Amino acid sequence: MKAVLFQGEKVTVVEKPLPPAGRDEALIRTAMAGICSTDRELLAGYHDFAGIPGHEFVGTVVRAPARPELVGRRVIADINCGCGICTWCLAGDPRHCPERTTLGIRGRDGAFAEYLSMPLRNLHLTDESLATEEAVFAEPLAAALEVGQQVHLKSRDRVVVLGDGTLGILIALSLRLACPRLLLCGRYPEKLRVAEAQGVETRLLEPGGAPADICRELGYFGAVVEATGQADGLALAIELARPEGTVVVKTTSHEPSAISVARIVVKELTIIGSRCGDPELALSFLKNRWIDVKPLIEAIYPFAHFDEAWHHAGRRGTLKVLVSFE
């Protein structure tokens, strides 16, 4: 099969054998994959990853010895593959399994390839009403929805989401249903308009603005979600939180963040890290059309033009770039 490989700082397409699929795993033919900023962080050295990247995908099961009825079905997957026997796995949450592998991120080849393999227990069937280019959003949408699973947001809270990348917009679109006083702040008018079109209030922030000036303009928030993808986003998030407020951190930057711990102490803030979420919840949001993800698609490239897709995704101000294998 053809697969994308990260080798040092280079992205190449190579010929590889089909991924091994054990008895409790499925071999899946990739239908579509999404390029994510995490993929760029991996290339920059995050997690010391070497192998096939790609963790946002939808595909078709082609082999599943233990569950042959799945052959031919469209699936997405929970990307965290646990050992199955530790306390985290037994509690049904492999995201923190110490032995876990993560599709295209940690110890497991990913979805920028014609085929991939996943444990059967990680698979989720997609609803037939969902287009391929909608279902491919299940992973990032699950990560966006995780914020609402972790923080008890109240309808009267002022909430701000920092960052108008795909993740920031998905977070704003999912939280707006419970938090009408939500504001999305970003750098790109055309991206903010995508969220505005679905009822989100937005504000354009000029680059290089001092956090104190931004606070004077916007006021303070009970909950701040930091999804800028930038190492310095956390400092602004801490400033924007009101005393006893909550800061949810989504950015996984390869660069360390410099913050004033004293500000956290003095304001008595709660800082919450937030990673992957529940794919089944994301599928239900998509199926019920509570969020329209299609306006977030910047471009769809055939896999044969992966190189162009990768460069397009790396341009500043780009929304979701998808790669089609069909």
Choose the stretch contacting Zn ion; rule: CB under 5 A; options: 22-30, 76-84, 107-115, 169-177.
Answer: 76-84
What is the pattern of x (binds Zn ion, CB under 5 A) and - over residues 30-69? ------x-x-------------------------------
Buried b (16+ CB within 10 A) or exposed e, 70-87: beebbbbbbbbbbeeeee
Q: 14 vs 90, which CB is nearer to Zn ion?
A: 90
Q: 97 vs 161, which CB is nearer to Zn ion?
A: 97
What is the pattern of x (binds Zn ion, CB under 5 A) and - over residues 122-141? --------------------
Q: Which long-range contacts (CB under 8 A, 24 or more apart) does 215-218 make?
A: 215/239, 215/240, 218/160, 218/183, 218/185
Q: 81 vs 175, which CB is nearer to Zn ion?
A: 81
Site size toward Zn ion, by CB under 5 A: 7
Please give the helix or strand (H or E) that residue 287 lies within, else none.
helix 279-287
The least distance separating Zn ion from the CB of residue 9, rounded to whole angstroms, comes to 20
What is the pattern of x (binds Zn ion, CB under 5 A) and - over residues 79-98? ---xx--x--x-------x-
Q: 18 vs 86, which CB is nearer to Zn ion?
A: 86
The least distance separating Zn ion from the CB of residue 94, rounded to whole angstroms, comes to 6
The least distance separating Zn ion from the CB of residue 209, rounded to whole angstroms, comes to 27
Determine the Cα–Cα distance for residues 277 and 145; give it in Å rounded to an integer.
7
Q: 166 vs 246, which CB is nearer to Zn ion?
A: 166
Q: 102 vs 246, which CB is nearer to Zn ion?
A: 102
Interacting residues of 282 by C-beta distance below 8 A, sequence separation 6+: 137, 138, 139, 141, 142, 144, 145
Q: Which residue has the tokens 């004077």?
A: 216
Q: 228 vs 246, which CB is nearer to Zn ion?
A: 228
The least distance separating Zn ion from the CB of residue 307, rounded to whole angstroms, comes to 20
The least distance separating Zn ion from the CB of residue 251, rounded to whole angstroms, comes to 12
Query: E strands within the chain?
Result: 2-7, 10-15, 25-35, 56-63, 74-77, 80-81, 101-103, 107-108, 115-119, 123-125, 159-162, 182-186, 201-204, 221-226, 241-249, 270-273, 297-302, 320-324
**145 interacts with Zn ion by CB under 5 A:** no
Determine the Cα–Cα distance for residues 79 and 60; give it in Å rounded to an integer.
16
Residues that bind Zn ion (CB under 5 A): 36, 38, 82-83, 86, 89, 97
